[in-house]
C-alpha cells in the first residue's frame, strides 16, 4: 500500500512536467511577462528608494515597451493645421517619442501641452487603434507687432505674444506701442481700417497711460486722439486733411482730444517763420489820415 502511494506520487510530478513542456505559450507573452517583471522590479524600487522621477520614467518606459510588444506601437502619425509650428515642435509638445505606445498615450494631457504653445489656439488628439495617432491644431494668426520697454514682439489678435522677436516675414505688420497695447490692438486697428488713406500713413499706434491712443505718422506728425469717441475724431481729421491738406503741413502735432476744437502745434521752423511774419506786419492805422 505504501509502495502504491509512492508510485502514484512519483508519476504526478512527471505528468505535470510533461504538461508544462507541451504547453504552447502565445506569441509576445514572453516579452509582456518580462515587461511585467520589470514593472514589479521598478515598483519595488519606488517603494524602498528615493529617486522618484527616474523610477517613474523607467516605469513609463517599461509600460510602453510591454504595450508595444503586444502590438500597440504608434506606426503612423497624421498631422493637420500646422503652418508656423513645425512637425518636430508638435510631436515634442504632445510628448510623442519613438517608444511611446498608443495604449498608454494620454490624449488630454497631450492636448493641454499643445495648447501651452502660444501659436496653438486649439488642438484635437485622436487615437485610432491599434497603431495610428491623429493630431490636428488650429493656429493663431500673427496680428500686430507690439513694442514695450524697448522690445518688439509678435502678437495675435487677442494679445497673446506669439514670438518674442520679429521674423523678417512679419515686419510688415502694424505696430502698437505701450503697456496694454497688445490686448487693445484690434480696437484701434479696426477703426483705422475704416480710413485706409490715413492707415497707410500711420507708423505706430501708441497707447498712452492705458487710456487713449496717439497716432505717430511716418512723417513724424503726432495725432492725439480722445479717450472716447475716437471714430468721430478720426472722421474730423480725414475731412480736414481732404479740405486743407492738414497732414502734409509743417506741423508736429494735431490735438483732437476736445470734441469742439482742433489744436495744431507748428514745428519750430514754422513757428519761427510765423513769429517773424507777425513781427514784420505793419500795425493798422487808427482813425483817419493826419
Residues 106-164: tens digit of each pLDDT: 999 999 999 999 999 999 999 999 999 999 999 999 999 999 999 999 999 999 999 99
**How do residues 92-122 score in pLDDT, each as one tens digit?**
999 999 899 999 999 999 999 999 999 999 9
Alpha-carbon distance of 208 to 220, in angstroms, equals 17
CB 156 within 8 A of CB 149: no
Under 8 Å between Cβ of 162 and 155: yes
Predicted confidence (pLDDT) at residue 286 exceeds the cutoff of 90: no
What percent of the chain lies above the pLDDT cut of 70?
A: 72
pLDDT band for position 80 (cuts 50, 70, 90): very high
Instruction: Between 269 and 186, name the one with better pLDDT.
Output: 186
Which DSSP category does 223 fall into? E
Whether 285 has a pLDDT exceeding 60, the answer reads no
Mean pLDDT along residues 50-55: 58
Residue 59 banded pLDDT, cuts 50, 70, 90: low
CB 146 within 8 A of CB 152: yes
In order of start, what are the domains of the chain with their CATH numbers? Answer: 71-139 (3.10.20.310), 142-276 (3.40.50.11690)
* Count of H-run helices and E-run strands, the chain: 9, 12
**pLDDT the model gives residue 154:** 97
Write down the mean pLDDT value for the chain. Answer: 83
Q: What pTM does this model have?
A: 0.70
User: When comparing pLDDT for 44 and 144, which is higher?
Assistant: 144
pLDDT at 51: 56
The residue that leads in pLDDT, 56 or 215, is: 215
Percent of residues, the chain, with pLDDT higher than 90: 63
Residues 77-97 have a mean pLDDT of: 95
- Partners of residue 216 on adjacent β-strands: 204, 222
**Res 232: pLDDT:** 95
Q: Count CA atoms closer than 13 A to 118's CA, side-chain side.
A: 13
**Residue indicated by cell numbers 514784420:** 280
pLDDT of 60 above 60:
yes
pLDDT for 270 equals 57
In the chain the beta strands, taken as DSSP E runs, fall at: 76-80, 120-128, 132-139, 142-148, 151-156, 161-163, 175-177, 202-208, 212-217, 222-224, 251-255, 263-266
Where does residue 205 rank: exposed (0-12), middle (13-18), buried (19+ CB within 10 A)? buried
Task: Compare 10 and 79 and report the one with higher pLDDT.
Answer: 79
Question: Do residues 79 and 119 touch, judged by C-beta distance below 8 A?
Answer: no
Amino acid at each position: 500500500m505504501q509502495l502504491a502511494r509512492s508510485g502514484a506520487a512519483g508519476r504526478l510530478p512527471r505528468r505535470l512536467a510533461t504538461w508544462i513542456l507541451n504547453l504552447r505559450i502565445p506569441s509576445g507573452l514572453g516579452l509582456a511577462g518580462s515587461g511585467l517583471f520589470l514593472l514589479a522590479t521598478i515598483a519595488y524600487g519606488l517603494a524602498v528608494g528615493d529617486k522618484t522621477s527616474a523610477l517613474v520614467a523607467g516605469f513609463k518606459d517599461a509600460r510602453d515597451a510591454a504595450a508595444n510588444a503586444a502590438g500597440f506601437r504608434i506606426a503612423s502619425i497624421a498631422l493637420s493645421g500646422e503652418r508656423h509650428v513645425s512637425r518636430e515642435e508638435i510631436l515634442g509638445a504632445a510628448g510623442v517619442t519613438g517608444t511611446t505606445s498608443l495604449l498608454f498615450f494620454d490624449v488630454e494631457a497631450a492636448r493641454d501641452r499643445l495648447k501651452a504653445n502660444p501659436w496653438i489656439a486649439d488642438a484635437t488628439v485622436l487615437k485610432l487603434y491599434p497603431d495610428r495617432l491623429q493630431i490636428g491644431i488650429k493656429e493663431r494668426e500673427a496680428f500686430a507687432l507690439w513694442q514695450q520697454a524697448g522690445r518688439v514682439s509678435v502678437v495675435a489678435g487677442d494679445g497673446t505674444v506669439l514670438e518674442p522677436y520679429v521674423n523678417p516675414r512679419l515686419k510688415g505688420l502694424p505696430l502698437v506701442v505701450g503697456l496694454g497695447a497688445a490686448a487693445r490692438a484690434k480696437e484701434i486697428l479696426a477703426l483705422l481700417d475704416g480710413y485706409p488713406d490715413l492707415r497707410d500713413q500711420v507708423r505706430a499706434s501708441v497707447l498712452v497711460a492705458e487710456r487713449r491712443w496717439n497716432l505717430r505718422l511716418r512723417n513724424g506728425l503726432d495725432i492725439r486722439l480722445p479717450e472716447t469717441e475716437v471714430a468721430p475724431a478720426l472722421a474730423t481729421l480725414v475731412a480736414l486733411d481732404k479740405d486743407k491738406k492738414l497732414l502734409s503741413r509743417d506741423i508736429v502735432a494735431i490735438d483732437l482730444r476736445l470734441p469742439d476744437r482742433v489744436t495744431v502745434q507748428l514745428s519750430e521752423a514754422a513757428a519761427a517763420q510765423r513769429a517773424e511774419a507777425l513781427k514784420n506786419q505793419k500795425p493798422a492805422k487808427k482813425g483817419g489820415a493826419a
